[in-house]
Amino acid sequence: MNEGLVPTSWTVFGLEFHAYGLIVGLALVVSWWLIAKRLTRLGWSDTNRLDLAGLSIVLFGVFGARVWHLATDWSLYQAHPWAAIQIWQGGLSILGAVAGGMVGAWLVTLVWSSGPNWLTWLDSAVFGLPIGQAIGRWANFVNQELYGYPTTLPWGISIDAKHRLPQFANLAVETRFHPLFAYEMIATASAGLVWWWLASPAGERWRPAWWHLGSGAWFASYVWYYALIRFSLDWARPDKTVGWGNLGVNQLVLLGIVIMMTFWLLVIYRRLSLVKSR
């Protein structure tokens, strides 16, 4: 990818629009549309209240995404603290977005007591979150970030000199790198399609019998899957901050999430199995 191939911003009538923000905005809109579609099918047809609740959850998600990024990569901003608020330059963590969204959904249930409960919000999120993540990863392509080590594979991408990490600064101009954002995009989009299929009549016979919307099983399963994907992809990230041994800080967190989600799924399975056996 050469400088100028994909414009990072446009100026229209004196206003500057950033491609990163537009793509992330599109991802949020599509995610919420899919989530609202699922909630409507479950019986919550008050679209005005749903949209207001969704906006609140999205705002908490964006806030959590930025805070998580700053907490794990603050070294990037120590010399220029004001850059911490420049979201259009990149730096939104999916893990932080999920955590922030979870908090937002919990607060929404406190205000809207007659609406979906917290676990229903979480389970419904898996019908929009993976597709939104896949769309959002294109923002990484525009900003030339989230790439891996050099590769000779035909789908490797070019990175401009000014966007390269210091250890790659002196490599040949034609050097290509692993498009980690694309790998994650494929993994999340595929998961999103599978989740919709599993919820359909055609996929019902393949769906675990204890996966009930509102139990938390759908959400826990997706977070488990995504954490495992990210844990694996981070081995190919040259910019990871090493925490313990050869594991990155994010990998340690991701490993903890995998363990927590495994435990959560076991609890859900046991609880629903006991109910069914009565």
Alpha helices (runs of H) in the chain, residue ranges in sequence order: 19-41, 47-72, 94-111, 118-125, 129-136, 138-142, 180-199, 217-233, 249-277
pLDDT higher at 256 or 75: 256
CA pair distance 125, 33, nearest whole angstrom = 11
The pLDDT value given to residue 156: 94
Angle at the Cα of 65 from the Cα atoms of 59 and 69, rounded to 5 degrees:
150
Give Cα 25 distance to the centre of its chain. Answer: 13
Instruction: Take residue 182 and report the two structure tokens written for it.
Output: 């694309």
Confidence of residue 74 (pLDDT cuts 50, 70, 90): low
Q: Under a CB-based contact definition with an 8 Å cutoff, are residues 132 and 185 in contact? A: no
Give the per-residue pLDDT at 110.
Answer: 94
CA distance 130 to 223: 10
| CA pair distance 188, 208, nearest whole angstrom | 20
pLDDT for the residue numbered 113 = 86
Domain ranges of the chain: 9-277
pLDDT digits (tens, 9 = 90+) for 93-152: 888 889 999 999 999 999 998 889 999 999 999 999 999 999 999 988 888 888 999 999
pLDDT of residue 1: 41
Alpha-carbon distance values, 245 to 33, 251, 256 (Å): 42, 11, 15
Tokens coding 118: 């917290």
Residues 6+ apart with CB under 8 A from 248: 234, 237, 240, 241, 242
pLDDT digits (tens, 9 = 90+) for 195-220: 999 999 999 889 988 888 999 999 99
Q: What is the pLDDT of residues 52-71, one digit of tens each?
A: 999 999 999 989 988 887 87
Measure the CA–CA gap between 122 and 117, rounded to whole angstroms: 9
Token duo for residue 7: 């414009």
End-to-end CA distance of the chain: give it in Å, rounded.
60
Please state the pTM of the whole predicted model: 0.85
Q: Which residue type does 207 have?
A: R
Averaged over 170-187, what is the pLDDT? Answer: 94
Q: 42-51, 55-64, 84-93 — which is least confidently predicted?
A: 84-93
Distance CA 152, CA 144 (A): 18
Contact partners, residue 246, CB within 8 Å, separation at least 6? none
H helices of 73-179, where? 94-111, 118-125, 129-136, 138-142
